[in-house]
Amino acid sequence: MFSELTNLLKQKIDNSWAISLTTDSWTSRATASYTTITAHVTDKDFHLESFVLQTRQVTVSHTAENLSEELKLAIDERNLKFFGDLAITTDNAANIVNAVKLTGMQHNRCLVHVLNLCVKRGLKYGSVIEVVKKVRRIAGYFHKSSTAAARLASTSKALLRKSHRFIHDVDTRWISTFDMLDRYIKGSFLLLILFLDN
């Protein structure tokens, strides 16, 4: 099966009109570090398909030099060198930005990552940061206290006929801060009832 998929990928690459790459590093639950490289292949009719070229464990430091070697290896193994204007999209981490420079590929910064950085910076100004911190503390309280979470669940079921939970945001995803604030606004009356009930 592996050889069939490898041959299919080779055919898609050979018949492609354009190829671009994306890459990111991530850590498994077992704290092993990996780098995944994905190819995005467009044929002459502008049909786009995406294939994972590789997911490899990285046991060395994530320096620009080491990451560029991983990228070069993936390009060599799949014979992508003939695409002279090969472009790659990554996040804005300095090590991967410098790694791409070392490969000579055209570098595109991930728009979603740039947007995430802009919104995160905006959330740190003025009174916004104080509001976010307070809501984060409230969400954290209900996540850490099983008694408080149970009281919130029973109150919300009694009033809403479904359980309402506060959610905590994730630092790398600005939309999770929006979701946390939105959930807080929708459930803030429950906090008032719980407060008055004491």
Instruction: For residue range 66-106, list pLDDT tens digits in order.
Output: 999 989 988 888 877 655 678 999 999 999 999 999 998 99
Average pLDDT over the chain, rounded to an integer: 86
Task: Give me the residues paired with residue 56 across strands.
Answer: 35
Q: What is the mean pLDDT of residues 56-70?
A: 92
Render pLDDT for 138-161 as a digit per residue (tens, 0 to 9). 999 988 988 888 888 888 777 766
Q: Which domains does the chain have, with CATH numbers?
A: 2-109 (3.30.420), 116-197 (no CATH)
Can you tell me the distance from the alpha carbon of 81 to that of 128, in angstroms, rounded to the nearest whole number? 48
Task: State the pTM of this model.
Answer: 0.68
* Cβ–Cβ under 8 Å, residues 152 and 142: yes
Confidence band of 36 (pLDDT split at 50, 70, 90): very high
Question: What percent of the chain has pLDDT above 90?
Answer: 34
114 within 8 A of 107, measured Cβ to Cβ: no
Question: What gap in Å lies between CA 120 and CA 134, rounded to an integer?
Answer: 16
CA dist., res. 138 & res. 147, Å (int): 14
- Helix, strand, coil % in the chain, rounded to nearest 5: 55, 20, 25
The first and second tokens of residue 182, run together, are 């939105």
**CA atoms of 96 and 88, how far apart (whole Å):** 11
The pLDDT of residue 17: 85
What are the pLDDT digits (tens) for 101-133? 999 899 999 998 888 888 888 888 888 889 999
